[in-house]
Amino acid sequence: MRIPFMSMFITSPFEGVQEHAEKVKECAWVFQKAIECIIEDRCEDFEHFRREIDKLESEADAIKRRIRGHLPKGTLLVVDKFELFRYLSEQDKVLDVVEEGLDWLSFRAAAGIPEVLEKDFMIFVEAVMDPIEQLIQMVTAARKYFSTFSENQRVIVKDMIRTLRQYEHEADKLEDAIKEKIFNSIDDAVAVFHLIRLTEIIGSIADHAENAGDMMRAMVAK
Amino acid sequence: MEINVEMILLALALLFGFYMAWSVGANDVANAMGTSVGSGALTLRQAVILAAILEFSGAFFVGSHVSETVRKGIIDAQSFNDEPMLLGYGMLAAMLAAAAWLQFASYYGWPISTTHSIVGAIIGFGVVVGGVSAVHWEKVGTIASSWVISPLLSGTIAFFLFSYIRGQVFDSARPVLKAKQLTPFLVFFVFSILSLVMVFKGLKNLHLDLPLPQALLMAAGIGLIAAVLSHFLVKNIQEIPDEEETLPPSWSLSVGLGRADKYLKKALQSSSADMQPELEDILEKVGRMKEEVKQQVDSEMEVASYQKVERIFVYLQILSAGFVAFAHGANDVANAIGPLAAVINIVKTGTVAMKSAVPAWVLALGGVGIVVGLATWGWRVIETVGKRITDLTPTRGFSAEFSAAITIVLASKLGIPISTTHTLVGAVLGVGLARGLEALDLRTVRDIVISWVVTIPVGAVLTILFFYILRLIFE
């Protein structure tokens, strides 16, 4: 069929960005479940979490490649293509860090998390989920903004980014507290190293979510 | 024997003319109606019926201007005074060449234009058979430059129109109210311009061609009536969703959290000292949750109001789609009817004296051809376009279609055959540049520019080929 009019329209990359964000959230949930599993000491099949994350990661990768592949040179976008890719890579890093955390956890899965720190880790991981869930909402709201460019919607997106930053800040505070507690309550050097590194990895999940928020802030800037 | 040749010529001319008209109806009508079907503004059946009526009206009532240009504006008929039949073969060859090229390009999905094919074919024939002087180069220059200007013009109009709608409606604190206020003005413009086109030296077939002052007055009157009617149509649309089901689901959550917050504060005041830290903790958590849900509710309410704006613009989109269909019929019927009318004239009078106008029945034939194309194949294209192009929401669709329609109608008035498809592509681009569309593939523009360069020589060469074959057969 000869419809030049139709060939102009290509799939919006934001659809993929939203899908990708969903994958990030799912991954984070799996991670949370894995941590809970370890803490509950009844974790027989830890590998199962790794497989699940692996699967989600490759799905997210496929989405990422699809977005990049479907934006040929002469594409007119409402945002800077470079900024979009930067955002996407930051969102993808959240996922990578989750995977890294799970790997790190698995290296010493048998030892688990010391009882004194169990509650702290539960709260910490829970706190890291907040910015990620906020990330999804932000992406959805931002997509709406990119289709209307209305000031109202921009304010909403900016508010969401601010909330995201707050969550990251709270997670940061928890991270510091946990580190202090690790040093003061654990004597085994290997365990300290493992736990400190684990804390840092979990903390960086929130960091990357915040970075993604910052990139989004750049995209919605006037 | 002579009579027979002419009869065959005439039959062939009718056949190819009808094929061209069919092709116009089959492929290009989707431009106007596709997005309206896609956005759910019209059902496929409604769209096809509306398009059929308006395409035919456009072709029949306003189509003669452009047909005249195609028939006698491009080449100098006087050069063929000695051998009128040469011109007849030439026109026939031009139709055949354009149709063949069209079929070929359609197969590969190239964005070529019916208009450009036929114009290229006629020029080619004129240069080779009649000599360089047989072609009205200044007219060809006008036509060729219009191919570049028309997408640019429609794009510019679309850019400013959509930017204006966005600034006025989407960017306001109360988008729905703004949309309701803006609707009558937009309706006024659509109807005024449409009626102006109809009555100002148009509608010759209905003996309704008024001079400018009266035409302006009449157009403004019609526009005003339509605007008042539209005002009453949108008047009852509620600004804020008032029914339970239209409220976002998080709304009740937000209300509940607000209440919880209130009661917790009360409890905090009357509680004992040892309970207070725990209560404060809960209160803080509820407060945070409330803030989060509020953002969500805000976002959802905002989205709901944009959707409502789109629903208001559905009416305008239908209007502009109809406008495009009308303008399209007016401009594109010439591709089929121009050469056909020339052949008919030569066969009938045996001379190239083209004083007579394009007969009404020939215009009607073109209109019927378009409608048949629409009914047999065009609806499928409309369906495809509608399904695939969902980005063109009513606000965007209206901006693009209205801009394209104005441009096409203007060109038709001036008797310039332009490509309606390329004009619409320009308009969509304009909306895209006004940041109305999330993603557009600009390679289409490159393809179109290539098609400008390629279509003329190909049309010309094919026409020459067919011309010599026809002359060989008939003489």
B246–A contact, CB cutoff 8 A: no
Amino acid in the structure at residue A203: G
pTM reported for the whole predicted model = 0.86
What are the residues facing A9 on neighbouring strands?
B440
Average pLDDT (B27-41) is 80
Per the CB < 8 Å rule, is A74 touching B441?
yes
Minimal C-alpha gap between B441 and chain A (Å): 5
pLDDT digits (tens, 9 = 90+) for B88-123: 888 889 998 988 888 888 777 777 788 888 888 998
pLDDT digits (tens, 9 = 90+) for A22-42: 999 999 999 999 998 888 877
Contact call for residues B192 and B220 (beta carbons, < 8 A): yes
pLDDT digits (tens, 9 = 90+) for B275-293: 788 888 888 888 888 887 8
Q: Which residues contact A153 (CB under 8 A, 6 or more apart)?
A: A141, A144, A145, B299, B302
Evaluate the CA torsion angle B327, B329, B335, B341 in order and state its sign: negative
Q: Quick one: A112 exposed, middle or buried, by C-beta within 10 A (0-12, 13-18, 19+)?
A: middle
A-chain residues within 8 Å CB-CB of B424? 5
B-chain residues within 8 Å CB-CB of A160? 295, 299
Amino acid in the structure at residue A43: C
Q: Of B226, B239, B419, whose CA–CA distance to B316 is shortest? A: B226
Average pLDDT (A69-98) is 90
Determine phi and psi for B210, rounding to 5 degrees. -90, 155
B residues 173-192 lying closer than 8 A (beta carbon) to A:
173, 175
Selecting from B30, B392, B437 the residue whose C-beta is nearest the C-beta of A3 gives B30
Q: Does the pLDDT value for residue B244 go beyond 50?
A: no
How many C-alpha atoms does B292 have within 13 Å on its Cβ side?
A: 18
Strands A75-77 vs B439-441: parallel, antiparallel or unpaired:
antiparallel
| CB atoms closer than 10 angstroms to residue B15 | 15
Selecting from B106, B170, B425 the residue whose C-beta is nearest the C-beta of A5 gives B425
**CA–centroid distance for B444 within its chain:** 17
Determine phi and psi for A9, rounding to 5 degrees. -85, 125
Per the CB < 8 Å rule, is A5 touching B421?
yes
Q: Which residues contact B315 (CB under 8 A, 6 or more apart)?
A: B41, B183, B230, B233, B234
Instruction: Report the complex ipTM.
Output: 0.83
A-chain residues within 8 Å CB-CB of B111? 2, 4, 7
Quick one: tokens of B72? Answer: 């006698």
Contact call for residues B469 and B99 (beta carbons, < 8 A): no
Q: Of B267, B325, B342, B302, whose CA–CA distance to B89 is shortest? A: B342
DSSP codes of every residue in B339-360: HHHHHHHHHHHSS----SPPPH
Contact call for residues A120 and A181 (beta carbons, < 8 A): yes
Rounded to whole angstroms, how far apart are CA atoms B243 and B246? Answer: 6
Q: What pLDDT does residue B248 have?
A: 64
Cα B44 to Cα A17, B48, B291, B312, B367: the distances in Å are 33, 6, 45, 20, 20
Selecting from A2, A13, A150 the residue whose C-beta is nearest the C-beta of B439 gives A13
Lowest mean pLDDT among B140-154, B240-254, B300-314, B396-410: B240-254
Minimal C-alpha gap between A116 and chain B (Å): 22
Lowest mean pLDDT among A57-71, B41-55, B73-87, B426-440: B73-87
**pLDDT band, residue B1 (cuts 50/70/90):** very low
Per the CB < 8 Å rule, is B446 touching A74?
yes
Rounded to whole angstroms, how far apart are CA atoms B378 and B355? Answer: 35
| CB atoms closer than 10 angstroms to residue A199 | 23
Per the CB < 8 Å rule, is B30 touching A5?
yes
Rounded to whole angstroms, how far apart are CA atoms B63 and A45? Answer: 76
Q: Does the pLDDT value for residue B356 go beyond 70?
A: no
Owner of token pair 């308006």: B54
Per the CB < 8 Å rule, is B292 touching A6?
no
Amino acid in the structure at residue B283: L
Task: Give the chain A residue nearest B31 (alpha carbons).
Answer: A5
Q: Does the pLDDT value for residue B192 go beyond 70?
A: yes
Rounded to whole angstroms, how far apart are CA atoms B105 and B179? Answer: 42
Q: What pLDDT does residue B246 have?
A: 55
Rounded to whole angstroms, how far apart are CA atoms B365 and A213? Answer: 61
A-chain residues within 8 Å CB-CB of B440? 8-10, 75-76
Q: What pLDDT does residue B33 have?
A: 85
A residues 149-188 lying closer than 8 A (beta carbon) to B:
149-153, 156, 159-160, 163
Q: Of B297, B325, B261, whose CA–CA distance to B58 is shortest? A: B325
